[in-house]
Structure formats: structure tokens, C-alpha cells
A and B are shown apart, each in its own frame.
Chain A
Amino acid sequence: MRDPAAEIRKGVRAAAPSIEGGPRLSNRARERIAGYLFVAPDAIGLLIFVGGPMILSLSLGFFSVSGFGEYAFVGLGNYRRMIADPLFWRSLEVTILYVVALVPSLYVVGLGLALLVQTNSRFNTVVRSLLFMPQTVSLVVVGLVWQVLLVDKIGLFNQFGAALNLQSISWLGDPRFALFTVIGISVWFLMGFYMLIFLGGLQDIPREYYEAARIDGAGPVQSFLKITLPLLQPTSFFVLLVSTVAAVCGSQTFDLIYIMTKGGPANSTSLAIFYIYQQAFLFNEYGYAAAMASVLVVVLMAITVLLFILTRGGRFTYG
């Protein structure tokens, strides 16, 4: 009986151009080359669009840049200036506070919501969609809508407070509340996204584990602590890493701050990323901004390395 696969292999070999006198590549070598070729588009893209700009940005930190084409080498001048700049340190403080408040809040709210809507029912499908809905709206629109809701004295929140005889609060105009208001809105905006990630993680946990635990007399809390949380470790690692990086970069909050507070009141919402933006684009201090961005990258890398060390490179054992 003819083997069709062998016939095809034979045909391919016959059709393949041979190089006169050249050594034939082994299958292993050919596979390796094919592998590199598959990876090449990504690698080249990363090199051009990520690696290149990173090196350029790092280099820019050693120059004074006018923003109009003039560059002057200043060595570590920008880094020395950073050490003496109280606003830079203030922006780091704000960023740390922001990260410390946002990341655990997102984790708890995201996981909590995922647990609440994890069973498949029509009602839960609708609720999941509603919770994810803020993600479909532009952050600029989100900022504008919340700004209206939080207006001093006559905004919806303050009117509700007034009905309860509470004093009007300037949610975005008082330095005591502004950052926490921004964090609250960020959690509201992002919770649907993290809920979906946790839902994926929860659905990967075999139902049999819970049944076995129930037979052994475990309650919901024990099941959660002994089964859900340990088996969610990879998902938790992903959520913590992504939300921490996003919080330090301010990538998911920059628009909110730009629209709602402009870094105020009194620099209370001036995250490091916003201060870098101000230095670069409002004050034309591109070199100084690049130096601060480099420091931020180092901080991010340190956090990432720490997370990888704690989780042994993102590998988890459940025993």
C-alpha cells in the first residue's frame, strides 16, 4: 500500500533546489532556522520600536535638549538635578501611594467580582457585560463624566451627601481627596478587565477539587483559601505584575489626571509620569524628562525582577 506522506516528502525533496557542492542542512538545523524566522518579525519589531527608543531615551538623559534641535552633553547633570528636585520626589511619593492603593484594590475588587459572577447564567452574563462596559469608553469621556458627577456643591455625589446632611466635599479640588478620587475612578474603570482575567483563571480550576473538598467537609472559606487562591497563583501573578507596571507607568490613569486635575490641586495628583510629561512637553526639558523616565524604568525593572524572584520566574507549585 502506498504511503501518501512518504510520496509527498519524496516529491518535496525532488523539487527542492540543491546547491552544487554545498553541505545539506540537517533537519535540526533547518528547524532552528525556521524557528528564528518565525521569531524574527517580533524580534525585529521589538528591537526597532521598543529597544531602539529605550536606548535613545536613556542616552537623551545625558543631554540638555532644548526641544528645538539643540543638544548639549551634560553627563550626570540631569540625574544630579533630579536628586535636588523636591517636585520629583513629591511625584514619586504620589506614585507610591497610588500604586499601594490601586494594585491591592484592583486585585480584591477584580477577584471579588469574578467570584460573584463566575457561574454561567444569563443574569451573570449581563452583569459581566455591564461591569466590563467602562472599558469600552474612552478615558477622556470617563474623566469628563466623573468630573460632572463630582462637581463641588451641586454635583450628584454632593447632592446625595446634602440629602444626608453631609458637608459638601470637593472631590477633585481638595488635596486630601483628589488622589483617592482618581484611584476610585481608576478602580471603577479597570475592574471589569481584571474581573475577566480572574474569570479565566477560575474557569481553569477543575470542579472536581471543590466537590472533593465539599465531601471532606470543607466550607466555602476553606475552599477559597485552600483551592481557589493557590490555583489562582499564575493569574494573580499576571494581574499583580500587569497592574503594578500599569500603575507605576500611570498608563491607565494619565488621561484621567490630564482631564480632571492637571496634576493638582497643589501637585497632589502629579504622578511621576505626569511630572515627566510636564517637564518634556510643557517646559521643553526633554533631557531631564528622559532621565526621570530612565529612573522609572529602573524602578519598574526592579519590581518585575522582585516579582519573578518571589514566584521563581512565574513557575508555581501547588503542593
Chain B
Amino acid sequence: MVENANERGAARASRRAVLAGGVATAAITGFPYISRGFAAQTLKFWQFYGPGGGVATQDKWFVDVAKSWNDSHEVKVELVYVPNNAYMDGTKLPTAFASGSGPDLFIISPGDFLRYYNGGVLLDLTPFMEQAARDDFFPSVIANRMVDGKIYGLPYEVEPMAMYYSVDAFNEIGLTDKDVPKTWDELLSVAKKLTNAKRYGVLFETSPGYYQNFTWYPFLWEAGGDFQTKEGKSAFNSPATVQALKFWQDSINMAVAPRKPLGGGAWDSVPNIGSGYCAMQNVGIWAIAQLREGAPDFKYGVFRLPTPPGGKYLTIGGGWAFVANARGLNPKAAGEFCAWALGSPKDGSSQRIIDWCTKAKSDMPPTKSALEGGKAAFENGFLKVFTDEIYPGARAEPRMPPPVYKAISDAIQSVQLNGQSPEQAAAAASDQIDAFLSGYKGAPIL
């Protein structure tokens, strides 16, 4: 019998079809489990210090930490770089969590802590740490990452705010380091002298956002104000608030401060003070590393925030922390990683923090052991100014829910840039804060 070639082909095709169908079925039904299994062995760590970032040593630090963990652990950590803009005020992280696919590990600032804690996605890291390691963190630094005595985030830096000044600009008008302003009035007066056709005397943040609030809080505190009473009511409508709002407004009205900073914003020192756009800049400790890398020949000095009449010197100590996703694929391994990296001196966490604060960046350490271990570096150069003069006045960055932050942000913006009366802005923001606090049920606002 002569076999029909077409029939044979059809039979072969149908066998192929069966095989292909089988593979497709496996892909549809089985592969997700296989990929979940694989994913559980690989922790995704989202952060914004990616390859080719602003400061190469910072990217390298993250790579080294991940490599060091991966060399000694079965569950691996994979770094995922999210551009800074998309991370801080962007959609990447919120949408990932909203769609149930948040990263296993990520970094957050105190400003964002409550959003994620109240959302139930922060893992309690306390069980992964020994008591000695918990005690190693400065209480004021770890406080805003704790709820009910449990630690939900491990900071690797403290970033106090200060004032930077251009030595050349000071010399140009016959000022020396002895003339650095000590009061708000002196600051405005010196800024006026430093202002010319191409340069502003001083620079504060003007873009609305968490960072602007962060940089304004110390001025509120220095004037004796706060945003919340011990009873959980708004304390924002106060003479201190009015005074602090007016201080920033005066800098704009006197035309000694710009309405728009250059570069990424007022946190960016190289395009602003480093380029000569301003003679003094309100920026944090990280500017030492920025200027070291981006403007190595720029001569500058650092001084602590000036105070209002009768005020007490204070500054704010921000900084980012490692956190683990309680709803991730392998929360236990994620918690172990956080503790190993930053909360376990026997595993080298102190040295990691020292390296970050002194080599990769220029920050103050959040732990006593790191401060002690890195003494040589912290007592040298500009870090010594921070260690001796600026850091001792640091208060932890407040953690507050978005509606409170937004009310304060709108008050700052409307007074600083839109000429609104500070009294009216403080009263309006206070009403909004009170309205929100009366129905708030999340973790304590600090």
C-alpha cells in the first residue's frame, strides 16, 4: 500500500501539535510556579543608585553589598535600579505595590515611612537582630523607623542639613569665615551683599515636594514651633510657624534667593553653589561628596543653620533606610538581608556603614559602632564640622502621612512664592491638619 504523503504529514503535524500544546499547557500552568520558585531564591532590591549614577562610589557600594551577600548565601539579591525621579516622587514603587508586585527589598526615607507601614507592607526586622545590634542605633535616628518598639527600617546614613558658602564669593566682598551669619537677619543681610547681576546670595528649595518640607522643618523648630501637639492636635498655627514662613518669604521678596534652583533642585550642589549661581546654599551633608566629585576645585565652607532671635540651634537629620516587603516572595530572607547588611556588627555591618558614610558618600553614621569605628574620618575635614558642630543639633526627620505633608507644603509654597500672608497660610494649613488628624488611625505621627 502506498502511504499518502499528505496524510503522513498531517499525522506528523498533529503529533507536533500535541507536543506544542503540551508545552503551551506547561507554560501556562506550570511555569509560573517554576518562576515563583526561582523568584523566591532571588530577592529584587529596588534603589536609585544605579550604574553611571552621579557618584560612582555610591553605585559600587550597593554592588559590593549585594555581591558580598550573594557570595555567602543561597538566596541571592539582585539590584534593580530605578531612576531617582521615578523613585522619589514617581509612580514606580506605588504602582508596583498597588498591583501586588512590590520589590522584596527597597529603600525609603522617613517621609514615606507611614505610607508603607500603614499599608502593611513593611516587615518587622526586630526578630532578625540581636539586642546589642538594636541598641547600637542612636535612639533619635531609629525612632522614626519604629512602631510599638519594633524596628521596620534600618538606616544606613544620617544626613543633617547645613549652610554651605563659596569662599571666593565671600572674599570678593571682603568677608571671611569669621563673618558667616549666625542669625536669620544676618543671613539675609550677608545674602544681600553677595547678590549681584549673575548671582544670588542664598538658595533655599522652592520646588514643592517632600524635600522642600524636609529642608524647612529645622527653621520651624528653631523658632520653637512644631506641627503637632503631644495630644495629637495641630500645632501649626503658631507664631513660630509664621516666623519661619516669613523668613523664607523675605529671602524671595528681597530678591536675594532664586525662585528656581538649577540642576535637579536645591539638593543638587554642583549646578548651584558649585557653578556660582548662588553664594550660600541650604543643603545637606551629602554635598561634600557631590562637590568632591563634581567640582573638586571649588572652595567652600560649611556652617550650621543660623537661628532666629531668641531661637535655639537645631537641624534635621534625614537619611534613607533598608526595608523588607512583608508580602514579598521570601520575606524571611529579605529580613535576614537587611539585618545582615546594616544591623549585625559581627557580619561587618558597621564597616559597611562607615564605608558608605565616608567613602561612597559623606554622611553621619546611624550607629554608635560606626561612629567609633570611623572616628579617623569623622574627625577630619568637613565631616569634623558636621561631627562637632552640626550633627549634635540634629532632630530626626518627621514621619507624617501625605495629607499633613501636603498641607504644610501648600503653606510653604503660597507664602514663599505667592506672597500670601504667613498668618493666613499657617491658619489654613492648621485647619487641614486638624481635619485629617481627627480621623487618622495609622501608626503614630512623629
Contact = CB atoms under 8 A, between A and B. Distances in A.
A268 B115 CA distance: 26
Interface in B204-245: 206-209
Contact of B259 (A69, A265, A283, A286): A265
A285 B402 CA distance: 10
B208 A67 contact: no
Interface in B390-446: 402-403, 406, 410, 413-414, 416-418, 420
A40 interface: no
A172 interface: yes
Nearest to B97: A68
Interface stretch (B86-94, B183-191, B344-352, B368-376): B86-94
A267 interface: yes
Interface string A135-158: 000000000000100011110000
Contacts of A262: 89, 207-209
A266 B97 contact: no
B40 interface: no
B100 interface: yes
Interface in A250-268: 261-268
Contact of B417 (A69, A154, A266, A281): A266
Given A154-B277, A265-B418, A268-B418, A67 B98 contact: yes
Contacts of B197: 153, 162
B413 A264 contact: yes
A174 interface: yes
A268 B95 CA distance: 27
- Size category of the binding interface on chain A: 20 to 34
Contacts of B200: 152-153
B295 interface: no
A282 interface: yes
Contacts of A266: 410, 413-414, 417-418, 420
B262 interface: yes
Interface string B237-279: 0000000000000000000001110100000000000000100
Contact of A283 (B120, B206, B209, B402): B402
A151 B277 CA distance: 10
B79 to A, nearest CB: 23
B417 A264 contact: yes
A259 to B, nearest CB: 8
A282 B258 CA distance: 26
A175 B403 contact: no
B198 interface: yes
Interface string B147-169: 00000000000000000000000
Given A87-B410, A262-B208, A281-B94, A175 B417 contact: yes
A263 B260 contact: no
B199 to A, nearest CB: 8
Nearest to B262: A151
A155 B13 CA distance: 69
Contacts of B414: 266-267
Contacts of B94: 67, 280-282, 284
A286 B98 contact: yes
Nearest to A167: B255
Contacts of B97: 67-68
B245 to A, nearest CB: 13
B121 interface: yes
A243 to B, nearest CB: 26
Given A153-B198, A170-B259, A173-B260, A281 B206 contact: no
- Size category of the binding interface on chain B: 35 or more
B310 interface: no
Contacts of B260: 147, 151-152, 170, 172-173
A261 to B, nearest CB: 8
A152 to B, nearest CB: 4
A212 to B, nearest CB: 56
Contacts of A170: 258-260
Contact of A281 (B91, B208, B403, B410): B91
A66 interface: yes
B417 A174 contact: yes
A174 to B, nearest CB: 6
Contact of A284 (B259, B402, B416): B402
A13 B207 CA distance: 73
A127 to B, nearest CB: 33
A153 B258 contact: yes
A152 B259 contact: yes
Given A263-B208, A265-B206, A282 B418 contact: no
B9 interface: no
A282 B89 contact: yes
Contacts of B406: 283
B280 to A, nearest CB: 16
Interface string A263-277: 111111000000001
A285 B98 CA distance: 11
Contacts of B416: 265
Nearest to A170: B259
B52 interface: no
B100 A69 contact: yes
B98 A174 contact: no
A172 B208 CA distance: 13
A9 to B, nearest CB: 28
Interface in B88-133: 89-91, 94-95, 97-98, 100, 115, 118-121
Which 4 pairs, one residue from A and one from B, show the smallest C-beta to C-beta distance? A173-B259, A68-B119, A266-B418, A283-B402
11 contacts: A152-B258, A152-B260, A162-B197, A173-B258, A173-B260, A262-B89, A265-B206, A265-B418, A266-B413, A268-B418, A281-B90
Interface of B: 89-91, 94-95, 97-98, 100, 115, 118-121, 197-200, 206-209, 258-260, 262, 277, 402-403, 406, 410, 413-414, 416-418, 420
Given A267-B410, A267-B414, A283-B402, 15 more contacts: A67-B98, A69-B98, A151-B260, A152-B259, A175-B417, A175-B418, A262-B89, A262-B208, A262-B209, A263-B208, A268-B418, A277-B91, A280-B94, A281-B95, A282-B402
